[in-house]
């Protein structure tokens, strides 16, 4: 699969092309979300639109699919500064799945799918993707876990400045438009302190990580994706409350293969914030007094939460999750004479392919502690019992 995208300056849409090489009909059907499609797609084989899907049945000997796709997108229709994808006069920043929104495949059993990505842009622009070019200059798609070979993660193109470093075995790039305030070297320094702590606790990081940043009109927040992170350039490296957005998102990258139920988002967000705080503490980036103060503030913030059952964790819910995991970590360390903590429990769930839900957390913790964990008792985790 050759995924080709053609960007144009100050144009909210882009031309996309998928070129398939096969000789025995290995790929029988490809479905893409048609929500952002513009005009009528064309190409080889059978192409049709149905129920919001673009369905492509390619010829047995391969072929290509062509379409126009809208890239620019707002998270909130009422807020002009809430974009999660943007193409402007000097900059484009978006996720690969925005341009190639593959939703399902039908592939002959035993077939192996390989992919390459090519992004063309105006002559003066640079392009950075979540994939490193090989010796021939081709960007072979390599996604974490069992994700199939399609473009995923953050892409930035335009008049950008990039800094690179190798930290804890991971090649990291930090890219942002020239002329805006973006502390690329300071961000790499923070990761140099904290990423070794995170990888020691949670496991091996990806071989390559692409961090992209800009200010308005992008959303004032951060979002992780396979092999990549977006962070708004206005976000501080470490906030006044002792937390760090970029380290938080790095935890999400490391735990990308940890599956959690849709209605237990507090687990994802609570783990990301707790392990990022521990990395800041264990690396000496923040002192223990600051860490204790931050945990105390989060405990007060989440005290009034009446239910953690939600698909989108709010600030108080996430804060409650952090303190639950803090207490569980302390309980595990006491019971095992500091031999095992929360990180060990999470590594076991991740490596075993187990769903990280309240029931599995309780069950595994009880085996380690010898009794039901008090930190996961019904009163501590409202909304589930």
Task: Residue 95: count other Cβ atoms within 10 Å of its Cβ.
Answer: 24
Closest CA to 25 of 101, 110, 102: 110
Question: How far is Cα 126 from Cα 22, in angstroms, rounded to an integer?
Answer: 32
What domains sit in the chain, N to C, each tagged with a CATH number?
2-254 (2.60.40.3650), 265-376 (no CATH)
Q: In Å, how far from its chain's centre is CA 25?
A: 33
The confidence score (pLDDT) of residue 354 equals 82
The confidence score (pLDDT) of residue 32 equals 97
Query: How do the pLDDT tens digits run along the chain, 385 residues long?
Result: 999 999 999 999 999 999 999 999 999 999 999 999 998 999 999 999 999 999 999 999 999 999 999 999 998 777 777 899 999 999 999 999 999 999 999 999 999 999 999 999 999 999 999 999 887 778 999 998 888 999 999 999 999 999 999 999 999 999 999 989 899 999 999 999 999 999 999 998 899 999 999 999 999 999 999 999 999 999 999 999 999 999 999 999 999 989 999 999 999 999 999 999 999 999 999 999 999 999 999 999 999 999 999 999 999 999 999 999 999 999 999 999 999 999 999 999 988 778 999 999 999 999 999 999 999 999 999 999 8
Closest CA to 31 of 57, 63, 61, 68: 57
The confidence score (pLDDT) of residue 296 equals 97
Which SS3 state, helix, strand or coil, does residue 350 take? helix
Query: Number of C-alpha atoms within 13 angstroms, CB side, residue 371?
Result: 6
The confidence score (pLDDT) of residue 314 equals 94
Question: How far is Cα 138 from Cα 289, in angstroms, rounded to an integer?
Answer: 49
The confidence score (pLDDT) of residue 138 equals 85
Go through the chain and tell me how many residues it has: 385
């Amino acid at each position: 699969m050759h995924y080709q995208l053609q960007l144009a300056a100050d144009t909210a849409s882009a031309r996309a092309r998928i070129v398939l090489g096969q000789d025995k009909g290995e790929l029988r059907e490809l479905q893409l979300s048609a929500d952002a499609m513009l005009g009528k797609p064309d190409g080889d084989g059978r192409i049709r639109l149905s129920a919001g899907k673009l369905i492509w049945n390619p010829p047995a000997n391969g072929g290509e699919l062509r379409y126009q796709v809208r890239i620019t997108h707002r998270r909130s229709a009422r807020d002009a500064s809430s974009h999660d994808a943007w193409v402007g006069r000097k900059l484009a920043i978006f996720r690969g799945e925005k341009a190639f929104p593959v939703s399902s495949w039908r592939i002959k059993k035993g077939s192996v799918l390989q992919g390459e990505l090519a992004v063309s842009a105006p002559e003066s622009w640079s392009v950075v993707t979540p994939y490193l070019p090989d010796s021939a200059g081709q960007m072979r798609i390599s996604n974490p876990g069992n994700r199939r070979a399609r473009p995923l993660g953050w892409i930035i193109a335009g008049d950008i400045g990039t800094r690179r470093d190798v930290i804890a075995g991971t090649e990291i790039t930090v890219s942002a438009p020239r002329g805006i305030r973006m502390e690329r070297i300071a961000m790499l320094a923070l990761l140099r302190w904290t990423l070794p702590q995170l990888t020691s606790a949670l496991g091996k990081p990806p071989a390559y990580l692409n961090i992209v940043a800009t200010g308005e009109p992008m959303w004032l927040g951060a979002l992780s994706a396979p092999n990549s992170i977006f962070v708004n350039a206005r976000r501080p490296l470490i906030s006044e409350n002792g937390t760090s957005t970029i380290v938080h998102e790095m935890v999400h990258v490391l735990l990308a293969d940890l599956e959690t139920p849709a209605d237990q988002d507090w687990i994802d967000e609570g783990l990301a914030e707790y392990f990022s705080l521990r990395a800041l503490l264990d690396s000496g980036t923040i002192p223990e007094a600051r860490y204790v103060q931050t945990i105390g503030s989060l405990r007060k913030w989440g005290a009034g939460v009446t239910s953690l059952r939600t698909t989108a964790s709010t600030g108080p819910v996430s804060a409650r999750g952090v303190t639950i995991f803090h207490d569980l970590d302390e309980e595990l360390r006491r019971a095992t004479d500091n031999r095992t903590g929360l990180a060990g429990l999470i590594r076991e769930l991740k490596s075993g392919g187990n769903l990280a839900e309240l029931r599995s957390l309780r069950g595994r913790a009880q085996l380690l502690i010898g009794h039901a964990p008090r930190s996961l008792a019904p009163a501590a985790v409202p909304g589930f019992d």
